[in-house]
A and B are shown apart, each in its own frame.
Chain A
Amino acid sequence: MTTFLNLTLNGLATGAVYAALALSLVIIYQATRLVNFAQPALALVAVYIAYTVSQMTGSYWIGFVAGLLSGLVAGALVERVVIRPIAKSSELNAIIVTLGLLLIVQGGVGMIWGNRQHGFPYAFDYVGRFSPADVFAVASVAVTALLLFGLYQFTPLGLRMRAAAFRPEAARLSGVKVGLMLTAGWAIASLIGALAGMLAGPPFISPNAFDGVFVYGITAAVIGGLDNPFGAVLGGVLIGLGMSYVSGYAGPELATLAALAIVVLVLSVRPDGILSRPAARKV
């Protein structure tokens, strides 16, 4: 029973990170029908800036905030400078460009900060069962998800963003600046991606630090339903728990297989993901 409890708590903590990454992907997919493969690159930049600021100021939290803010700015910049000029041509072009951006940024980070590992601290003590660091991971992602829900559901900005995502033309006719809403979406998504990076980074960061986590983040987004934020959170938790149970009961070498098995299982029952709304996509 304790094993089960341990594995569950452990799965929740890692699942929270996957959920945050999945959220960042879903926000952008909802708005632009684009899977942003550059998301880990944006998180990478945020985490390295957090690392540098922490080193300079000696405070983890100043670095943490700097990291989140740089994620926000990086997301907005990428949308404006890189994605917007090519978004009109075809969805596939944009996807390839995000892939290219991922490679460029990873290379760039290696050139600036070096390819060796840097120590990156946990926010809190990480020793023991459901350590303070784990609690922080779960709590911060839960709060982020709630704030995001509130933003979408109860604020004028959220209403504009949803309108722009669902029916850009109707939104424009209602006076919504659709382009600005896309930038806002990318900024918010990258902020959440940066949070995921800050949680997934410790104890070491390197230019390829997020490759693995990103794979599970994307997996979580897909099984949850790419266009549903709730699905992203659910998918993240599901993948986290599933991998934790399998590695605990059957051996850690099977954890990756577990993720794959979950994908196959979920998608064979619900091909669009657990919480997707396929009808809404036909418009």
Chain B
Amino acid sequence: MILEVQNLNASYGAVRALKDVSLGVAEKGFCAVLGANGAGKTTLLRTLTGLHRAAGGRVLLEGEDLTRLPAERVVTRGLAHVPEGGGVITELTVEENLRLGGLWRRRRDRVALDEVLDLFPPLAQRISKSASTLSGGERQMLAIGRALMSRPKVLLLDEPSLGLAPLVTRQIFDLLRELRSSTGLTVVLVEQNANGALAVTDSGFVLNQGSVVASGPSAELLSDDRTRHAYLGF
């Protein structure tokens, strides 16, 4: 397990958003975290990368404890997080957004930029344009590209399909799968779009009210009618 979460707890005031969440993601895995609105998916990612303080439990990346690290340090350990909506900085250019992602490395990593641009040709065409001129799909590409600039071991994505047309979502999902097979990157995909996510991932976890209620290979989750009806809504 490259990423291991042990009994993770998190709360907002008196509300417990995560209750003893434990899960493991295999190296080079493509893993989905599913669940309805308010199930705790976003909180899970935010707690993993230190944007939200864990109230208990541990987060291990390749055995290294990241639980108490602030967000700006977590990324330097190899855990990258593309937040909900992408977090693209529209006041900056496409290139500045990308460069920002690799800035914490002392040495300038020209190769990473070229690789990312190869991966996302639309970004290469608009490299010096303001990020505000990008379409929704391109922004999501930029957000993913920026995260890849840090050369992460594990990439966490919070609802990349949000607000995108089904076709564009499909492209992004396929791209993530390609990325996983070409670079060996481990990808964790948080999604409300369970059907689409289970079609591309190889394993999945289902969250409900802050707890893991089901887990297993994606194909099994897809064929398990009870889980599907109860938690995934299709």
Contact = CB atoms under 8 A, between A and B. Distances in A.
B75 A174 contact: yes
Interface string A150-179: 000000100110110011011111111110
B51 A166 contact: no
B174 interface: no
A118 B189 CA distance: 66
B153 interface: no
* Residue with the greatest number of chain B CB neighbours at <10 A, chosen from A159, A169, A174: A174
Nearest to A177: B72
A233 to B, nearest CB: 19
A280 interface: yes
Contacts of B51: 169, 172-173
A56 B232 CA distance: 76
Given A159-B96, A175-B76, A177-B72, A167 B89 contact: yes
B162 interface: no
Contacts of A160: 100, 103
Interface in B68-104: 70-73, 75-76, 80-83, 87-92, 96, 99-101, 103-104
B140 interface: no
A172 B70 contact: yes
B92 A166 contact: yes
A162 B131 CA distance: 14
Contact of A167 (B49, B71, B72, B87): B87
Category for how many chain B residues contact A: 20 to 34
A174 B92 contact: no
Contacts of B101: 174-175
Nearest to A165: B91
Contacts of B147: 173
B49 A159 contact: no
B41 interface: no
- Interface SS, A side: helix
A172 B71 CA distance: 6
Contact of B72 (A162, A178, A280): A178
Contacts of A177: 72
A280 B92 CA distance: 11
A171 B70 contact: no
* Residue with the greatest number of chain B CB neighbours at <10 A, chosen from A163, A166, A173, A280: A173
Contacts of B103: 156, 159-160, 174-176
A44 to B, nearest CB: 33
Contacts of B104: 174-176
Given A173-B71, A174-B100, A175-B104, A163 B89 contact: yes
Interface residues of A, number: 19
Contact of B88 (A156, A169, A170, A175): A170
Interface string B33-62: 000000000000000010100000000000
A173 B83 contact: yes
Given A159-B100, A170-B89, A175 B83 contact: no
A160 B51 CA distance: 18
A162 B70 contact: no
A281 B22 CA distance: 39
Interface in A226-283: 280, 283
Contacts of A178: 72
B146 interface: yes
A166 B83 contact: no
A171 B91 contact: no
A170 B91 CA distance: 12
A129 to B, nearest CB: 42
Nearest to B71: A172
Given A159-B99, A178-B72, A173 B87 contact: yes
* Residue with the greatest number of chain B CB neighbours at <10 A, chosen from A176, A280, A283: A176
Nearest to B73: A175
Contacts of A159: 92, 96, 99-100, 103
26 contacts: A156-B99, A159-B100, A160-B100, A162-B89, A162-B91, A162-B96, A163-B100, A166-B91, A167-B87, A169-B51, A169-B71, A169-B83, A169-B87, A172-B51, A172-B71, A173-B51, A173-B71, A173-B81, A173-B147, A174-B75, A174-B100, A175-B73, A175-B76, A176-B103, A176-B104, A177-B72
Given A159-B103, A172-B51, A174-B150, 12 more contacts: A159-B96, A162-B91, A163-B92, A167-B87, A169-B51, A170-B83, A171-B100, A172-B71, A174-B104, A175-B101, A176-B104, A283-B90
User: Top 8 A-B pairs ranked by shortest CB distance?
Assistant: A175-B104, A170-B87, A172-B71, A166-B91, A175-B75, A172-B72, A174-B100, A167-B89
